[in-house]
Amino acid sequence: MDRIVIGGLPPKFEMEGDFQGKEMFKICCAFICATGGYYLFKEGVKYYFWKKKLDHKPKRFSHPEPVNNPITRPRPETLNEICEKSNADIADLQLCGNLLCKGDTLVISSSDGEGKSTLAMGMCVDIARGSNTHLLPDDKTPYNQKPQSVYYFDAELSDDDIQLRYGKHDFHFPENLKRFSSTYESETEMFDHIEELVGNEKSDVTICIDNLSAIIPTASPKAYHDLFSRQKKIKDVAKANGYYVTFIIIAHTTKTKQGQVNETFYGSSHLGNLSASRIALLPTRFGDEYKMLKVQKNRKMPKEGNVIIVKRVSTPYLHFEYFREMKEDEATPLKQKTVSISSVTPASEILVQKPKAPNQKVTPEKEEKIIAMYNKGMKQSTIANKLRLSTKTVHRTLTRLKQEGHISA
């Protein structure tokens, strides 16, 4: 009786009996096959679990295959070719006289409470109605305008503010002026919406953004570059299809000392170089109802050294109207001095007092809220607490409103 042991550790093969040569060969072949199968199975199981672990491991870096998109270079043109192109007449380009023309990007800036939103909304109403601007005299707006769609992206005023400003008069605003008060996650999301609106219009359209700092919270050069690259692309595509897209962008001035006139607006180092036109809305020495329009940049308006004085009016809706032009130093606010506007404007006999407490300046919106609260029978102290004003300021405002006939005495 023979005992055969093949292998040591598993797999181990033992047999007893009388074996011939052929039988030994068959036994060895069977052992080899069994051993090979065992190790193949073992390595296969190890590979399966290794691969499963690898597939669930997060990838740190991804290297997408480069896409070779053909680059379309702009075609060079001679000055003669450019001059021979058919151009629109100046009468067809003006929207607000030469203050704003089709295809421009206009930046309006001022400090808080001066009336940027009122100024911009008044311009938008005029553009949507196709009426000549109220900001210039008649001889500066000789052409009749055509109505166009206006989209107002409002991150500044609430619906209540809009109702207080524009809901008290029986005035029907143009239906082609539409306001968006929704917020956007980024300027990219907002410009995706703008591009969609412009594509649907397929005609001249004006876009107003109020205000820029609510959309770009940091003065990042890249953010401004991306914003203007995107709006330039929208304008270029529209122009290629035969219509214009105009942008009005509102920006805050940077913080400064109380009572000082500030013309440095938010992001000016980037935004100022990329805008075609800039207007600063500044205070004057004639009181809160009179403001100064200072054209800081405009390729279509000659520099004459004058500023435009506009007056805030509330009928038939809240807006600014042209009053007169004068030298800037004649309109700049003076310290602690009462100035009669009749001294520089003989047509008016209005005596305007400089506010005693400029840090508690009552804006037109707050005036409307004061009137509404007073008419509801609220006490002056309650009104002051709700509007974060002093009781003296509320009392002084109510006295003035009664004298002006806004409140029945």
Q: How confident is the model at residue 235 (pLDDT cuts 50, 70, 90)?
A: very high
Most trustworthy range by pLDDT among 45-54, 80-89, 276-285, 346-355: 276-285
In CATH, what number is assigned to the domain containing residue 263?
3.40.50.300
Residue 218 falls within a domain, yes or no? yes
Does the pLDDT of residue 226 top 70, yes or no? Answer: yes
**Are residues 215 and 112 located together in one domain of the fold?**
yes
Lookup: tokens for 101: 């023309």
**Are residues 309 and 366 located together in one domain of the fold?**
no
**Are residues 289 and 385 located together in one domain of the fold?**
no
**Are residues 42 and 154 located together in one domain of the fold?**
no
**Are residues 158 and 175 located together in one domain of the fold?**
yes
**Are residues 335 and 372 located together in one domain of the fold?**
no
Query: Cβ contacts of residue 398 below 8 Å, gap of 6+?
Result: 370, 374, 380, 407
**Are residues 251 and 209 located together in one domain of the fold?**
yes
**Are residues 194 and 273 located together in one domain of the fold?**
yes
Query: Cβ contacts of residue 271 below 8 Å, gap of 6+?
Result: 107, 212, 224, 249, 251, 265
Rounded CA separation 393/357 (Å): 8
Q: Which residue has the tokens 């598993």?
A: 10
Most trustworthy range by pLDDT among 50-59, 231-240, 374-383: 231-240
Q: How confident is the model at residue 385 (pLDDT cuts 50, 70, 90)?
A: confident
In CATH, what number is assigned to the domain containing residue 397?
1.10.10
Q: What per-residue confidence (pLDDT) applies to 87?
A: 67
**Are residues 280 and 372 located together in one domain of the fold?**
no
**Are residues 302 and 383 located together in one domain of the fold?**
no
Boundary (domain end) residue, out of 307, 324, 351:
351
Rounded CA separation 195/86 (Å): 26
Residue 344 falls within a domain, yes or no? yes
**Are residues 183 and 40 located together in one domain of the fold?**
no
**Are residues 266 and 303 located together in one domain of the fold?**
yes
Q: What per-residue confidence (pLDDT) applies to 177?
A: 96
Say which residue, 246 or 355, is predicted with more confidence. 246
Rounded CA separation 373/407 (Å): 11
Asked if residue 316 has a cis previous peptide bond (ω within 30° of 0), the answer is yes
Mean pLDDT lowest among 18-22, 128-132, 216-220: 18-22
Q: What per-residue confidence (pLDDT) applies to 38?
A: 72
The arithmetic mean of pLDDT across residues 307-325, rounded, is 93
On the 0-12 / 13-18 / 19+ scale of CB atoms within 10 A, 249 is buried
Rounded CA separation 28/289 (Å): 110
- Which residues on adjacent β-strands are paired with residue 292? 282, 309
Range of the domain at 388: 358-403
pLDDT in tens, 122-160: 999 999 999 999 999 988 888 888 999 999 999 888 888
Mean pLDDT lowest among 33-42, 171-180, 182-191, 279-288: 33-42
Residue 35 falls within a domain, yes or no? yes
Number of domains the chain is built from = 3
Give the β-pairing of 319-327 and 306-313. Answer: antiparallel
Can you give the pTM of this predicted structure? 0.64
